[in-house]
């Protein structure tokens, strides 16, 4: 059977019927199955298998010891394929997170989560990305752990873990979830750090960051629902939002702003796409958001 024949045969059933009762390899060593398993089971009937031998930190780690050398989407695809190979399965799932300044409100921290699903038999790869404005991503430079009291409350310690490094140096310890260990490691790091300081950072690994795990769960729901939605043109699974059109009209001068004017939905297989208006119905924006009226 040729790849084209397999593809046509796959489209003769709905996505849910095609995948129900099958297993997908989830490439994780940080407990992401607790967030991803239920959406894929409930929406698509897919069970997850986590390969125990896969070191996902080899694709990039939050402590900086292993830099990520490709984009988040490319890294997630590579992880998913590695998980499929390790588990001997033709379905694979993986996710990748990045954290830093919000793309618009640069003084506010944000996260971007990317999740991919691969069906090797269909030669199908579908990805979904989510901007996560709710995150505890943060750090503090201190000489003593006693200086962290208010910050620890804000970032959700001890349910959210921490990592510590000497300022300007490599990570000394990670996965810290108790005050005694934190105090001891901060003292050690400060003694070695620039200006006698330790850098204390939120540990963004999913199993030590419930806030991030909640974002991953939301993204898994979104991806599973997208996979259950066939393309209106070719019936391939994975019809969903692929981008936005910027240029919302200024109510003052009639010019284009950088705000979103429409959503773009598309298919990852046949490249059919369609623009839809903003779901909130807005057609114009206040002149305060206009680069011409408010330069």
Query: Which H, E and C letters describe 41-103, residue by residue?
Result: HHHHCCEEECCCCCCHHHHCCCCCCCCCCCCHHHHHHHHHHHHHHHHCCCEEEEEEEEEEECC
- For residues 168 and 156, what is the distance between their CA atoms, to the nearest angstrom? 25
Assess whether pLDDT exceeds 80 at residue 6.
no
Task: State whether the Cα torsion 271-121-78-221 is positive or negative.
Answer: positive
Give the lowest-confidence range in 76-90, 148-162, 209-223, 278-292.
278-292
SS3 per-residue string spanning 232-293: CCCCCECCEEEEEEECCEECCCCCECCCEEEEEEECCCCCCEEEEECCCCCCEECHHHCCCC
- 70, 77 contact by CB (below 8 A): no
**DSSP code of residue 146:** G
Give me the chain's average pLDDT, please: 89
Assess whether pLDDT exceeds 80 at residue 52.
yes
Residue 271 is inside which H or E element, if any? none
Predicted local distance difference test score (pLDDT) of residue 16? 67
pLDDT by residue (tens digit) across 228-259?
A: 999 999 888 999 988 889 999 999 899 999 89
Give the lowest-confidence range in 37-41, 94-98, 105-109, 210-214.
105-109
Predicted local distance difference test score (pLDDT) of residue 8? 43
What are φ and ψ of residue 103, in 5° steps? -65, -20
Q: Which band of pLDDT confidence, cut at 50, 70 and 90, is reported for residue 69?
A: confident
Assess whether pLDDT exceeds 70 at residue 95.
yes
Q: What are residue 274's DSSP bridge partners?
A: 265
- % of the chain surpassing 70 pLDDT: 92
User: What is the C-alpha R_g of the chain?
Assistant: 22
pLDDT by residue (tens digit) across 129-159?
A: 999 888 999 999 999 999 999 999 999 999 9
Predicted local distance difference test score (pLDDT) of residue 111? 86
Q: Which band of pLDDT confidence, cut at 50, 70 and 90, is reported for residue 14?
A: low
Higher pLDDT, 10 or 90: 90
Predicted local distance difference test score (pLDDT) of residue 221? 96
- For residues 185 and 95, what is the distance between their CA atoms, to the nearest angstrom? 30
Give the lowest-confidence range in 56-65, 111-120, 153-162.
56-65
């Amino acid at each position: 059977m040729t790849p084209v024949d397999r593809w046509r045969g796959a489209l003769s059933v709905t996505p849910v019927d095609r995948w129900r009762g099958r297993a997908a390899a989830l490439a994780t060593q940080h407990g992401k199955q607790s967030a991803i398993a239920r959406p894929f089971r409930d929406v698509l009937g897919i069970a997850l298998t986590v390969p125990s031998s896969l070191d996902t930190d080899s694709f990039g780690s939050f402590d900086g010891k292993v830099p990520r050398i490709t984009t988040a989407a490319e890294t997630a695809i590579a992880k998913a394929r590695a998980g499929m190979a390790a588990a001997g399965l033709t379905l694979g799932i993986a996710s990748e997170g990045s954290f830093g300044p919000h793309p618009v409100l640069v003084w506010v921290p944000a996260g971007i989560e990317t999740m991919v699903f691969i069906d090797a038999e269909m030669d199908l790869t579908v990805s979904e990305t989510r901007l996560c404005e709710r995150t505890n991503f943060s750090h503090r430079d201190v000489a003593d752990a006693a200086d962290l009291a208010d910050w620890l409350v804000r970032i959700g310690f001890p349910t959210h873990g921490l990592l510590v490094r000497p300022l300007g140096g490599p990570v000394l310890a990670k996965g810290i979830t108790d005050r005694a260990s934190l105090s001891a490691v901060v003292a050690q790091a400060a003694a070695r750090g620039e200006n006698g300081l330790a850098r204390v950072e939120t540990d963004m690994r999913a199993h030590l960051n419930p806030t991030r795990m909640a974002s991953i769960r939301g993204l898994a729901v979104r991806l599973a629902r997208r996979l259950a939605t066939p393309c209106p043109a070719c019936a391939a699974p994975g019809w969903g939002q692929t981008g936005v059109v910027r240029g919302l009209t200024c109510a003052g001068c009639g010019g284009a702003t950088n705000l979103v004017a429409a959503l773009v939905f598309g298919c990852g297989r046949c490249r059919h796409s369609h623009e839809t208006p903003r779901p909130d119905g807005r057609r114009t924006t206040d002149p305060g958001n206009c680069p011409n009226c408010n330069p």
